[in-house]
A and B are shown apart, each in its own frame.
Chain A
Amino acid sequence: MKNRLLWPLLALVALLLLNLVVTPSFFSLRMQDGHLYGSLVDVLKNGAPTLLIALGMTLVIATRGIDLSVGAVAAIAGAVTCVHIGTSGDAGTAIAGMAIALVLCAVLGLWNGFLVAGLGIQPIIATLVLMTAGRGVAMLVTEGQIVTVNNTAYKQVGAGFVVLPTSILISLLVLALVAFVTRKTALGMLIEAVGVNPEASRLAGVRARTIIWTVYVFAAVCAGIAGLMISSNVSAADANNAGLWIEMDAILAVVIGGTSLAGGRYSLTGTLLGALIIQTLTTTVYTIGVAPEVTLVFKAVVVIAVCLVQAPKARAALSFRKVAVSS
């Protein structure tokens, strides 16, 4: 466990130190009007939606699945809420809009779960359907426009402060909740069992299908909350670009954190580290003054490096599985 997290941790520390060298004030924090400011807070705040989606993704990947639709779901959540709020500045309307959006996201998660667990379609393809159609649906909701709102209550979700930015607190709360529910009960072990071998775990009395449905619903709800954060932060819903490629970032965060795409084991701490690495990397590229678009090159290098470092283990795990199947 410690070993698996060592490399991601080293990568994160290295990135942070690099930042310290480039901008000596990187670690400084200051309080102003009861709000905490600083580069580190910015990293956390910008990384909050990715972390949230990566948490849902971790559980999905632990069941040997994958969810490509989260970006589209995030866009739908923002679109539905903003269209519901419209011109209203009322807190109740904002809460109702968010509730409708999250219920809708849960339904979308049920749909993914139905395709994967009910019909037995490969997860990558099953969620590709919603990834493609979802953005179309989001545009249908916003009628192709960027919907802007002016609602202080809604603004709290993505741009508000309770000492720290609200979005950080929401993400950390969900992290703590997931950690508690899956690690203090048998749920985490059951999820891993389904990931190792769905059929065997079903025969052993685990309700594999119910668990798969649950993780997809959870991933979709996480994506929905992240979508609310993204849209609330700019007080607008952009069906085309909100959460674009965030599914890729989330999957990267999960993989960098040492969760195997082959399923069967997962690490929430690893995912937290992975999300932080990705966000710190982006921030680093900004601060050292390279064109922001070039971040992608650095991301590619980090992914390959981390995957290669972990590769012998992945290989050992794979060959073990092959032996187990053939015997």
Chain B
Amino acid sequence: MTTLAPRVPSRFLPVLATVALFVIAFGVGSARYDGFASGQVIANLFIDNAFLIVLAAGMTFVILSGGIDLSVGSVVALSTMVTASGLQAGWPVSLVIVAVLLIGSTLGLLMGLVIHKFDIQPFIVTLAGMFLARGLCFVISVESVSIKDRTFRDVATAAIRLPGGVTITYNVVIALLVVAAAMHVLHRTRFGRTVYAVGGSESSALLMGLPTTRVKVGVYVISGLCSSLAGLLFSLYMLSGYGLHAVGMELDAIAAVVIGGTLLAGGVGYVLGGLVGVLVLGTIQTLISFQGTLSSWWTKIVIGVLLLVFIAVQRTMVRR
């Protein structure tokens, strides 16, 4: 590691640490359990967490800008609800998709505007957004609504064959496209650079003449859009809409982003880190299900411990 250090910039270290953790976790699983080290297990990591990958990508923008978005889990639930009840009412699939994405980004826009114009903490505003979206689900229906639309079901169950007999769903393709788009916007555009600048120091960014308003509101629109897209993926995954879907998913998304090496103070991190963070969380769940004797609540404890370790590591790095 010491010989590597001068060549690998220190800003990549947290992401590399997460990748190493993923490899170790997966290696442990492969060594201990038969059938763990198969292509399909890796593919399943993506299939079961496609919506979380999309959420983490959106959350990365918000956290990089120094904010936080607690509403994402509820927006996912609202999107499933709108999708399911829209399809039930006989709307065409394209209209449902447009409506869901519009609702998500509009909620994001509203929260961003309130945060920026009135200088209220993102925590409180997105908390209100979380309550609002969750409540709106129940306004639509208190019951779970199942999705029976033929087109939707076909897309949900369609399998894409990859070489080696591995199959993935369209969800995975969409999630990876979102990650690619997010990487492009964050690392290759002026908007992306301004996100980093605002997260590093908002007043400096403002004094440099950067469009901080657009960025501070924009990140919440992106997060809202990603959440509603994740909601669509989640409806494909669950084939139902329910107000109690995705409870606490915002915490999973935040945990994935933090484990992926993004600093919660803002300004440091990568979209790819969030993706690897999700994979780490997924691997832990897979490990625990392969183990069989460990109960599901160990997942929560392990995630908590991992969060702690990564925060402590980040802390020492920032001090340096």
The residues of A with any CB-CB pair to B shorter than 8 Å are 66, 115, 119-122, 124-126, 128-137, 139-140, 143-144, 239, 248, 251-252, 255, 261-262, 291, 293-301, 303-304, 307-308, 311, 314-315, 318, 322, 326
Contacts and interface: CB of A to CB of B under 8 A. Distances in A.
B251 A307 contact: no
Nearest to A133: B304
Contacts of B254: 128
Nearest to A293: B138
Given A124-B68, A136-B304, A318-B119, A307 B243 contact: no
Contacts of B298: 136, 140
A293 B38 CA distance: 43
B307 A128 contact: yes
Interface in B125-176: 125, 127-132, 134-136, 138-139, 142
B138 A144 contact: no
Contacts of A262: 121
A171 to B, nearest CB: 23
B131 A135 contact: no
B119 A308 contact: no
Given A307-B124, A315-B118, 8 more contacts: A120-B315, A125-B311, A136-B300, A262-B121, A303-B124, A307-B118, A311-B119, A314-B118
Contact of A124 (B123, B138, B301, B315): B123
Contacts of A294: 135, 138-139
B78 to A, nearest CB: 11
A255 B124 contact: yes
A137 B118 CA distance: 39
Contact of A132 (B118, B128, B295, B303): B303
A293 B301 contact: no
Nearest to A131: B251
Contacts of B307: 125, 128-129, 132
Given A132-B251, A132-B307, A297 B132 contact: yes
Contact of B123 (A66, A115, A299, A326): A66
Given A132-B307, A133-B305, A303 B123 contact: no
Nearest to B121: A261
B212 to A, nearest CB: 13
B251 A128 contact: yes
Nearest to B114: A304
Nearest to A297: B135
Contacts of B114: 304, 308
For the complex of A and B, the 10 pairs showing the least CB-CB separation, nearest first, are: A133-B304, A136-B300, A296-B135, A297-B135, A293-B138, A300-B132, A139-B297, A136-B301, A311-B118, A300-B131
B311 A129 contact: yes
Nearest to B309: A129
Nearest to B304: A133
A291 B138 contact: yes
Contacts of A66: 123
A126 B258 CA distance: 12
B124 to A, nearest CB: 6
B255 interface: yes
9 contacts: A132-B251, A255-B124, A291-B142, A303-B131, A307-B124, A314-B118, A318-B119, A322-B203, A326-B203
A297 B315 contact: no
A315 B115 CA distance: 11
Contacts of A130: 304
Interface in B172-224: 203
A119 B315 CA distance: 8
A295 B120 CA distance: 23
Contacts of A295: 135
A298 B134 CA distance: 11
A115 B311 CA distance: 10
A63 to B, nearest CB: 15
- B254, B300, B307: most-surrounded residue (chain A CB, <10 A): B300
Interface in B43-98: 68
Contacts of A261: 121, 123-124
B125 A307 contact: yes
A272 B135 CA distance: 25
A139 B301 CA distance: 10
B81 to A, nearest CB: 12
B28 interface: no
Contacts of B129: 300
Contacts of A131: 251
